[in-house]
Structure 1
Amino acid sequence: MLRGSGRGRNAGGLRRAALGAAGAAAVVLIAACGSSGSGSGSGTDAAADPKLPVPATTTAAPIATPATAATLATPGATTASATAPPNAAAPEGYDPARDAAADIAAARRSAAADGRPVLLDFGADWCPDCVVLGKTFTEPDTAGLLAKYHVVRVDVGDFDHNLDVAAQYVELRSSGIPALAVVDAHGKLEVATNQGQFANARDMPAAEVNAFLKKWA
């Protein structure tokens, strides 16, 4: 999901079609959360927003409405509590009540102790692609790879939450959400998906997610 005109606006637009003599109904076309499925980072510059950090290069693409995320969420899923520490398994959802800076600091201390890298996942529960990536994280093969990391999921709200934390690791203007970053056991940023590689997670097979995790574990 790339930053564009704001949460709740449908980049794919609305198309209304006649449904016969009985009347008409709105048909909402939901665009992918990424850059039209390319993930290449190409496109036009995003509109200026003083709330967001401005990277050296920025790209933008239409975004999808958050309204569809609810239909993709796992029934009965809950987010991690605000007091529970992050762990190797990916927490469910992006909890806005958590202290992201403290979670990352705790994960980095654990990484320094056991040598496992830290995987940072920036997103929001309203984003369909973020929801899909979270479900991929629960698949057996992917979950096994995540066990090699300390996983922290950071809520960025409507691109208006934890931006100071996110700016230390990713460029949200070009990365969109979900955005991943890997920090090694020594605190070095190994990779950040600043070109929107995961912003179209709905169209990404689990094998691609697993390849990324294998590369940086």
Structure 2
Amino acid sequence: MTSRILRPVRADRRAQPRSAAPLGARLPLVAAVVVAAGLTTACGPSSQPVGSAAQSTAGQTSSALPSATASASASTSAEASPSASASPSASTSAAPSSSPTPSRAKTGSAAPKPSRTSAAPAPARIPGPGYDSSADAQKQIDAALAAAKADGRMVLLDFGANWCGNCKAADKVFAQPQTAAILGASYHLVKIDIGGNSSANSALLRKYSPSGGSYKMPVLIVVTPSGTVRTDTHATGNPSLTSEGINSFLRQWAS
């Protein structure tokens, strides 16, 4: 009786497939399959050979590093140095430009003309007191006239003698600062000795003062750069041989 009952049970067990496993035994297998499927989905199938994906990823990472490093260094330097953040245009506009304008810098353009100066020329040389009997008076007059043509000053001829008291008085006034300044600014002074026996000098006196007769020394004659006599004290009389008299005379005939 007992053997009959056991046979159908064994027959039922043989009818079930051997691959079927209990639910508790199948759960680990299902979990493994799910994990494997997740890894396959995350990575995906690769069409590149082994090592190419890693090389590409490494290249992308290395190429991104310089830009990130540069950005970080730039921001660091900008924070460390406030002057580094100033724009080039601001620094350029702040500094004054010393370069010439484009119109002047062009090749072949005319150079700017130097500005004319309104400064007065240097004062003319004033000879010392007395008269040099050995000097070539004609040559001195010619040089004075040439200088007068160049600078527009007048020529003052002083005919006198070393023994003449009035001539000495006039020399003292010529040496005073105010009178010397007027002489140097407006005249070329030539002193000519007529106290000796120089016929050449006497001829020069008659040339510039042709009225003749007795001459009262000193004889002061103002001549223009062209050689024309403007005034002759032999004809008009001498001014007062003081600073006021001679200065007034010099200013009157200076122009």
TM-score (norm 2): 0.47
Which residue of structure 1 lines up, in the alignment, with residue 208 of structure 2?
A: 169
Give the Cα–Cα distance (whole angstroms) in 1 for the partners of residues 168 and 212 of structure 2.
18
Which residue of structure 1 lines up, in the alignment, with residue 136 of structure 2?
A: 99
Give the Cα–Cα distance (whole angstroms) in 2 for the partners of residues 139 and 88 of structure 1.
14
Are residues 132 and 214 of structure 1, via their aligned partners in 2, closer, same or farther at CA, if it must alter by over 3 Å?
A: same
Q: Secondary structure of 1:173's match?
A: coil
1:151 aligned to which of 189, 201, 223: 189
Alignment RMSD: 2.0
Say which structure is richer in strand: 1
Identical-pair percentage = 38
Which residue of structure 1 lines up, in the alignment, with residue 245 of structure 2?
A: 208
Count of residues in Structure 1 that have an aligned counterpart in Structure 2: 128
Give the Cα–Cα distance (whole angstroms) in 2 for the partners of residues 160 and 103 of structure 1.
15
Residue 142 in structure 1 maps to residue 179 in structure 2:
yes
Residue 182 in structure 1 maps to residue 222 in structure 2:
yes
Deviation at 1:186, TM superposition (A): 2.1
Which residue of structure 2 lines up, in the alignment, with residue 193 of structure 1?
A: 233
1:92-118 deviation digits (Å, cap 9, x = unpaired): 211000000110011001111111010
Question: Which structure would you say has the larger Rg?
Answer: 2
Deviation at 1:193, TM superposition (A): 0.7
Q: Secondary structure of 2:213's match?
A: helix
Say which structure is richer in helix: 2
Give the Cα–Cα distance (whole angstroms) in 2 for the partners of residues 196 and 115 of structure 1.
24
Which residue of structure 1 lines up, in the alignment, with residue 170 of structure 2?
A: 133
Using CA pairs under 8 Å that are at least 6 residues apart, name the structure with larger relative contact order, 1 or 2: 1
CA contact (8 A) 2:166 2:241 kept: no
Are residues 172 and 205 of structure 1, via their aligned partners in 2, closer, same or farther at CA, if it must alter by over 3 Å?
A: farther
- Consecutive unaligned residues of structure 1, counting only runs of 5 or more, are 1-86
1:7-56 deviation digits (Å, cap 9, x = unpaired): xxxxxxxxxxxxxxxxxxxxxxxxxxxxxxxxxxxxxxxxxxxxxxxxxx
Give the Cα–Cα distance (whole angstroms) in 2 for the partners of residues 135 and 102 of structure 1.
26
1:98-153 deviation digits (Å, cap 9, x = unpaired): 00011001100111111101000000100011011011100111111111200000
Give the Cα–Cα distance (whole angstroms) in 2 for the partners of residues 165 and 122 of structure 1.
9
Task: State the AA in 2 paired with 1:90.
Answer: P
Give the Cα–Cα distance (whole angstroms) in 1 for the partners of residues 242 and 249 of structure 2.
12
Which residue of structure 1 lines up, in the alignment, with residue 40 of structure 2?
A: none
Any runs of at least 4 consecutive aligned residues in structure 1 with deviations exceeding 4 A, and if so which? 158-161
Deviation at 1:196, TM superposition (A): 6.5
Give the Cα–Cα distance (whole angstroms) in 2 for the partners of residues 111 and 94 of structure 1.
22
